[in-house]
Structure 1
Amino acid sequence: MVKKLEFLFNNIAGTATLNFNNETIELISQKPASGIWYKNEQYELRGKGNDITLKKDGIVIFEHQDDIVNIEAKSQKDVLNLTFNNTEGTVKAYLNGGEQIELVEEKAASGIWYKNDRYELRGKGNSYTLSKDGDVVFKN
Structure 2
Amino acid sequence: MYAAERHRRIVEEARRTGRVAVAELAGSLGVTPETVRRDLTSLEEHGTVRRMHGGAIPVERLEPTLATRTARSTDEKRRIAARALDEIPADGAVLLDSGSTTLAIAALIPGPTSPSSPTRCRPPRCSRITRTSISCCSADASAASPVRPSVRGPPACSPD
Alignment TM class, shorter chain as reference: under 0.3
What TM-score, normalized to structure 1? 0.27
Question: Counting strand residues as a fraction of each chain, which structure ranks higher?
Answer: 1
What TM-score, normalized to structure 2? 0.25
Question: Counting helix residues as a fraction of each chain, which structure ranks higher?
Answer: 2
Structure exhibiting the larger radius of gyration computed from Cα positions: 2
